Structure 1
Amino acid sequence: MIQEVYTLTIRELKKWLSRRGTFVVSLITPLFWLGLFGKSLNFAQMFAPTNIPPQYSSLISKYVDQQLLNLFGTTSYFTYLASGMLVVFGFFQSVFGGTNLVFEKRLGYLNRLLMTPTPRSGIFLSKVFGTLIRILFYEAILILIAWGLGIKFKPELTVINILLAGIAIIFVAIGFVSIFAAIAFNVDNVEIMFAIVNLINLPLMFASSALFPLKQMPSWLQEIAKFNPITYAADIVRYNLVGAPISNYLLSWIILIVISITLFVIGMLVSINAMEKA
């Protein structure tokens, strides 16, 4: 099965590279989020009073920085947002990895593939691996974009920190690409698939700590966010890249891994079952 998975994964990557429009749009979208949304919300200017005497400006600035530090774990909201968007972008790419399956079914490629002796699990794994490689490539570029726009990495940042942040994003991607692949294998209508995507992706993004801290949310929303793997991945990424505090680092890893593996197993079983019935 290894040879089949490798061959199908290479095909996924070639198909991705040949779609230049999709390649460019996938880079522009997070750039808009970071450049427009991230930079427009300047909380330092919002909190700072105007028309203050020069002799008090330094004290006011320190006070504002302390409030931002207490709220976001960093004195820069852009840094908070950019580190969270790394996880959100991995999640969005996972969603698109699933939607591509619907188009392959409509074009007949998937049906022809199912007529071959290729293991059904191999077809599923190739979709997961192909999506993960795309995500890692985009994440590397996104980090460079965030750095250029002014993200403040922690002074003691190491290669290990970067790797751990990347692993956290990979776990999120594995879980969600598996679930959306399972949905795609059971859906034939593109409109239905996009309706499901729109129903799920934005609530998952906002019901997490990717954009705002959980402590600023209503209590009922905090409880929902605790079951969202994006929350734990965003906290882990921030801890490793920008030094933002985290309540329980080890527990966050355990919850993230358990949820992601559970989603992966469910997605694979549902996908294989759908392919067997096709």
Structure 2
Amino acid sequence: MIIYDTYTIFWRELKRYRKSRSGVLIRLIQPAIWIIVIGHTFAGTRPLIQSVGFDGTYLEFMAPGVIILTAIFTSIFGGVNTLWDRRYGFMNKALTSPISRSSIALGKMLAISLISALQAALIIGIAIIIGVTFPNPLVILPIMAIVILFSLGFSGISVVVASTAKSQETFWGIINFLGMPLFMLSPALFPLELLPEWLATAAKMNPVTYTVLLVRGMMTGVTEGVSTALSLGVIGVFVVLMIGLASYVFTREINKPF
């Protein structure tokens, strides 16, 4: 029953996504600008990244970071649908049905994470067009799996904020406060070795860091001092914690007045 309830919510969210073509385009603009404009603007920093052991172009270095940037913002913004559901009455109808509240949260998170992967796939397509190469094209499949897993954690953050926010302004304020700082506090744009020691230490506690390093290693074959097992472990713990937290907070807070 829980699986069916989760699937029902999951499928509803996907159908909603299909109707939001303008939203898809808007969410693609920022990462597309990052990878095309910023990637070429900082092309001259190649000697800098080579000095820390990355023997490739800056565009190849930052492309994994932009893929994860897409995943972060698509997934962390995805909780806004929960706000609309609360405001326009769907959530009240769902809560009065026999459906499990945890299933509602999990269905939304799964849909958001899949949508994040679809958008990340489009960014990978743009990266290939502008010259980023893969050692093996088949590596795109495990990269997509990692993006889905990672996005599941960030969609949990979004659901938590949407469940507790008392207004759309509060939701957007918290989401904007979290999204970009977590991205910037990672080796997405520059190696950890080039950060001040205190920032590098903080970045090592950020799950975005391990996801970027893992995807970059798969795309370029260059490891940066962090093992695949450690990266997967950190991402896995992050996702499990956020699924548990999102289910708990959603169940406790969603029936409160909006």
Q: Deviation above 6 Å: which 4+ runs of structure 1?
A: none
Q: CA deviation at 1:277?
A: 5.2
Contact 1:229–1:260 (CA under 8 A) maintained in structure 2? no
Contact 2:105–2:246 (CA under 8 A) maintained in structure 1? no
Gaps of 5+ in 2: none
Contact 1:98–1:181 (CA under 8 A) maintained in structure 2? yes
Contact 2:49–2:190 (CA under 8 A) maintained in structure 1? no
Q: CA deviation at 1:72?
A: 6.4
Tell me if 1:272 matches 2:251. Answer: yes
Contact 2:160–2:246 (CA under 8 A) maintained in structure 1? yes
Tell me if 1:253 matches 2:232. Answer: yes
Deviations 1:232-253 (Å, cap 9, x if unpaired)? Answer: 0000001111112231222222
Q: Which amino acid aligns with 1:83?
A: P
Q: CA deviation at 1:3?
A: 2.0
Q: Which residue number in structure 1 is paired with residue 101 of structure 2?
A: 120
Q: Which amino acid aligns with 1:187?
A: A
Gaps of 5+ in 1: 48-63
CA RMSD of aligned residues (A): 1.8
Q: Which amino acid aligns with 2:228?
A: Y
Name the larger-Rg structure: 1
**What TM-score results when the alignment is normalised by the length of structure 1?**
0.86
Secondary structure of the structure 2 residue equivalent to 1:71: coil
Q: Which residue number in structure 1 is paired with residue 222 of structure 2?
A: 244
Identity of aligned residues (%): 29
Tell me if 1:171 matches 2:172. Answer: no
Q: Which residue number in structure 1 is paired with residue 28 of structure 2?
A: 27
Secondary structure of the structure 2 residue equivalent to 1:234: helix
Cα distance in 2 for partners of 1:137, 1:277 equals 33
Q: Which residue number in structure 2 is paired with residue 196 of structure 1?
A: 174
Q: CA deviation at 1:119?
A: 0.7
Q: Which residue number in structure 2 is paired with residue 95 of structure 1?
A: 76
Q: Which residue number in structure 2 is paired with residue 136 of structure 1?
A: 117
Cα distance in 2 for partners of 1:18, 1:227 equals 37
**What TM-score results when the alignment is normalised by the length of structure 2?**
0.92
Cα distance in 2 for partners of 1:15, 1:30 equals 22
